[in-house]
Structure 1
C-alpha cells in the first residue's frame, strides 16, 4: 500500500508488529496472519489436511500429502482464496476504519465466503465453459477506496 502511495508508512499496521509490510508479510509472515492460518485448520474446514498449519510453503508446493479428488481440490483452493481475501479485508478495515477484527472472526468471514463460492461453483452451469469473469468480485475497501478515504481524512 505504501508503494502505491496509499499509506505514509511502509510498516505493518498491526499492533506490535512494525515489520516492513509486503503481500507475503501480510498474508503469511505477520503474527496476526500466522494466528489466522492456525485457526483455519481442519476443525474449521474439515476438507483441509488434518494437523497441518497452512503456510506459504504449503500453498506454493502443495497442500497435504494424500491425493485429493477434484471436488476436494476445488474446495481446498476456494477455502484458501477466501481466507486470503478475509485477511486482506481485515487489514483494510484496520487501516481504513481503525477496526481490529479478531482471528476467529476473520476465519468466520472466510468460511462464509468459501461456502458462497462453493455453492456458486457447484451450481448449474448454463454455458459450456464458465469463465472466471463470471464470478463476482468484491469491491468494498479497494485500494482506490482507501486512497479516497485517506485523501479526505
Structure 2
C-alpha cells in the first residue's frame, strides 16, 4: 500500500511540476497617477505550473481574479476595473480614493506562489504659473506715468 501512495505522488509531481518551483512576476509600472487618468499596472510572469491564477487586492481587499482566462471583478469596482492580457490591472477614471497598496499574487499548481506590491498615489494636478512684469515709471509734467511693458506666464 505504501508503494501505491509513493507512486501516485511521484506521478503527480511529474505531471504538475516539482514542489518549490518559483513564479516570477515582472513589471515596469509605477503607481503615480494624475486624478482622472487610468491606473495601469502591467505585469508579466513566468511559471512552470499549470493553470496560473492571478489575484489582485487593494489595501488588503480582494478586488479581482483571473482564473482559466475568466476574470471576476468585485461588483463595487465594475465597470472601472478590468484585468487585461495575462493578468495586468486597469482601473479607469482614477480618484483620490484609489490611492493605496495594490497587490498581485500569482498561484499555479505545482509552483510556489509569488506576490508583487505596488504603491499607488493618485494626485491632483496643480497649475503653477508665475507672472513676470516689466514696469517703467516715467515722470511727465510733474506726475508719474506707469507703463506696463509686458507680462508672461
TM-score range, shorter chain: under 0.3
> Rg: which structure is higher?
2
When you count helix as a share of all residues, which structure comes out higher? 1
When you count strand as a share of all residues, which structure comes out higher? 2
TM-score normalised according to structure 1 size: 0.25
TM-score normalised according to structure 2 size: 0.25
